[in-house]
């Protein structure tokens, strides 16, 4: 459903959020290992998150990535999805057909529309912080 970039971005942002709430800055290698993503790919994702002011990058021996306190409760999952996948998730055909709409529906069209609406609502209602806080830290798994 999400692109690989978006999946890794969501994993990275959840890990960074968890650590930021503990007052810990994390480096590229830690993030890459925690989300099971290649370092170069993780670096590109973090570059996008930094460019969009979702995370802050600090250089030096005490540096690393963090989310500033003011953004912990105001950054919604939908913001991350929009940065990496745009709005195609909410508009595309479930079967990938280019001419699927209410007038010319694919067999899944109407069921998929309902699922997309629910997904959009969930992404727009949950901040990254609320999602992390709702999970038991010991059960938070971002790689498999």
d(C-alpha 136, C-alpha 59), whole Å: 30
134 has a pLDDT exceeding 70: yes
Determine the pLDDT at residue 5. 95
d(C-alpha 54, C-alpha 56), whole Å: 7
Determine the pLDDT at residue 129. 87
Give the end-to-end CA distance of the chain in Å, rounded to a whole number.
Answer: 18
CATH (one of 3.40.30.10, 1.10.730.10, 1.10.10.10, 3.20.140.10) for 4-86+127-134: 1.10.10.10
Q: What does the mean pLDDT of the chain come to? A: 89
Q: What is the pLDDT of residues 50-76, one digit of tens each?
A: 999 999 999 988 889 999 888 888 999
112 has a pLDDT exceeding 60: yes
138 has a pLDDT exceeding 80: no
Domain residues of the chain, as ranges? Answer: 4-86+127-134
DSSP-derived letter for residue 98 is T
Q: Give yes or no for a contact between 16 and 55, defined as CB atoms under 8 angstroms apart.
A: yes
Determine the pLDDT at residue 101. 87
């Amino acid at each position: 459903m999400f692109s690989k970039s978006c999946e890794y971005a969501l994993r990275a942002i959840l890990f960074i959020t968890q650590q930021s709430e503990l007052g810990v800055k994390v480096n590229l290698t830690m993030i890459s290992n925690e989300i099971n993503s290649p370092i170069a790919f993780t670096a590109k994702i973090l570059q996008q998150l930094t460019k969009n002011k979702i995370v802050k990058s600090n250089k030096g021996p005490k540096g690393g990535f963090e989310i500033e306190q003011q953004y912990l409760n105001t950054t919604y999952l939908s913001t991350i999805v929009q940065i990496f996948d745009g709005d195609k998730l909410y508009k595309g055909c479930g079967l990938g057909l280019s001419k699927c709409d209410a007038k010319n529906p694919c067999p899944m069209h109407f069921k998929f529309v309902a699922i997309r609406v629910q997904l959009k609502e969930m992404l727009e209602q949950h901040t990254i912080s609320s999602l992390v806080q709702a999970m038991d830290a010991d059960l938070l798994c971002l790689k498999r």
